Amino acid sequence: MNNQLTEMFGIEYPIFAFSHCRDVVAAVTNAGGMGVLGALAFSPEELEMELTWIDEHVNGKPYGVDVVMPVKTVDRDRGIDDVSDIGAELRKHISQDHWDYVDKILTDHGVDLEASGKELESGAGIGAGVLGWTAATGSPQIDIALSHPIALLASALGPPPKAAIDQAHAQGVKVAALIGRVEQAVRDVQLGVDIIIAQGYEAGGHTGEVSTMVLVPDVVDAIAPVPVLAAGGVGTGRQMAAGMALGAAGVWTGSIWLTVAENGSSTTVTEKLLAATSTDTVRSRAYTGKPARQLRTAWTDAWEAPESPGTLPMPLQFILNSYAANKMGSKPPRELVGMPVGQIVSRMNQVRSSKAVIQEMVEEYVDTTQRLSADLEV
């Protein structure tokens, strides 16, 4: 294929694949798309190792890194800037009622709190349940990403800081931002973002209230000629063709990579994803405190129950999730096992290689566009 984005990055196909798994990122990149590593779950030291590994396995082909720098979080709102122990500072803002409610959910599902996992650690990052949700923990990830030969720096939940955008541009790195509303796209372009990822309601993870079919053309019209990636409900060639027909220059995919052979998901998670239908997902604040589409589980149901104390704002709700995960250990109750995933999960019903997914998407895209062209012949 040959269009604005394939020329911009020197890739074969304008298929961008978001994944927290380095093996998926490398496999997609080597198959002609662009793999984008989600940095959120890695400490700075771990991210350095992951990117070094990718550098060694993509033979100079372009890849990207996705960071999360939310515009609105508790640490920003309340002036918490102690990077050394931000986890402990944030936990002070979680009520005992919320800790007790998590314990109740766990015990109701057979988790022995006395015999199970460790408490959250002090400091920042994974052990403290903070990850890259805050400015304090997200900024180092940007610095590490830009120290590697990446081609794209992407940001969810808001644009990267202006200084990071400028630094990326100085190094020849393009910047993308994920949005759910037209006004967000306009704002991000004004800040210097090069590519807008228009993610619709169907998407996995954090997503807005406007469907992909409506959002993409509205964004395309609002920010032209800035290229747009269609996201949300995209995992096949027909869906890719639909996104391109709406004016997108390419597609941003995520959920579809959760069940590829290279992904390291647990057996339970994979089994649940392969069996799920589109109606088995729910858009809930139970995961991070912001609306995010995920598998419906006993955990998401519990936070919607009448006795729930209510979800907390980001990143406090995720700290509760981390606490629960630590307590459940390596063998969590199946009914509590979940995963952010989009409604495309209905088509994720077999394990394939990442290369096979790319090939099938491209072949179906070509078949679809040729069929549509044939329909126009007189």
Q: What is the pLDDT of residue 64?
A: 98
Q: Which two tokens stand for residue 301?
A: 């149901």
Residues 194-252 have pLDDT tens digits of 999 999 999 999 999 999 999 999 999 999 999 999 999 999 999 999 999 999 999 99
Task: Return d(Cα 119, Cα 103) in angstroms, integer.
Answer: 12
CA 100 to chain centre: 29
Q: Which two tokens stand for residue 148?
A: 């590697």
Please report how many Cα atoms fall inside a 13 Å half-sphere around the Cα of residue 364, on the Cβ side.
Answer: 15
Residues shown for the chain: 378
Strand order across the beta sheet in which 281-284 lies: 205-206, 292-295, 281-284
Q: What is the pLDDT of residue 139?
A: 82
Q: Which two tokens stand for residue 193?
A: 């973002």
Q: What is the pLDDT of residue 120?
A: 79
Mapped onto helix, strand or coil, the DSSP state of residue 304 is: helix
Residues ≥6 apart with Cβ < 8 Å to 332: 111, 268, 325
| CB of 324 closer than 8 Å to CB of 299 | yes
Q: What is the pLDDT of residue 186?
A: 97
Q: What is the pLDDT of residue 269?
A: 94
Q: What is the pLDDT of residue 76?
A: 60
Structural domains in the chain, CATH included, are 4-73+133-263+348-375 (3.20.20.70), 75-129+265-336 (no CATH)
* Distances from the Cα of 101 to the Cα of 32, 88, 267, 334, angstroms: 47, 19, 28, 19
pTM for the complete prediction?
A: 0.94
Along the 378 residues of the chain, how does pLDDT read in single tens digits?
A: 899 999 999 999 999 999 999 999 999 999 999 999 999 888 889 999 999 999 999 999 999 999 987 666 666 666 666 556 777 888 889 999 999 999 999 999 999 998 877 777 776 666 666 666 666 677 889 999 999 999 999 998 878 888 899 999 999 999 999 999 999 999 999 999 999 999 999 999 999 999 999 999 999 999 999 999 999 999 999 999 999 999 999 999 999 999 999 998 789 999 999 999 999 999 999 999 999 999 999 999 999 999 999 999 988 999 999 999 999 988 899 999 999 999 999 999 999 999 999 999 999 999 999 999 998 875
Amino acid 222 reads: A
* Distances from the Cα of 45 to the Cα of 41, 124, 143, 194, angstroms: 11, 13, 12, 28
CA 16, 259, 31: angle at the middle one, nearest 5?
A: 40
Sign of CA dihedral 365, 367, 368, 373: positive
* Distances from the Cα of 302 to the Cα of 26, 63, 105, 289, angstroms: 38, 39, 7, 14
Q: What is the pLDDT of residue 73?
A: 66
Residues ≥6 apart with Cβ < 8 Å to 223: 185, 186, 189, 196
Q: Which two tokens stand for residue 281?
A: 């997902």
Residues 8-58 have pLDDT tens digits of 999 999 999 999 999 999 999 999 999 999 998 888 899 999 999 999 999
CA 118, 69, 186: angle at the middle one, nearest 5?
A: 155
Question: Exposure of 12 by Cβ count < 10 A (0-12 exposed, 13-18 middle, 19+ buried)?
Answer: middle
Query: Which runs of consecutive H residues, i.e. helices, occur in 208-315?
Result: 212-223, 237-245, 267-275, 298-304
| CB of 299 closer than 8 Å to CB of 338 | yes
Task: Return d(Cα 71, Cα 290) in angstroms, integer.
Answer: 12
Task: Return d(Cα 16, Cα 197) in angstroms, integer.
Answer: 10
Closest CA to 314 of 136, 76, 155, 96: 76
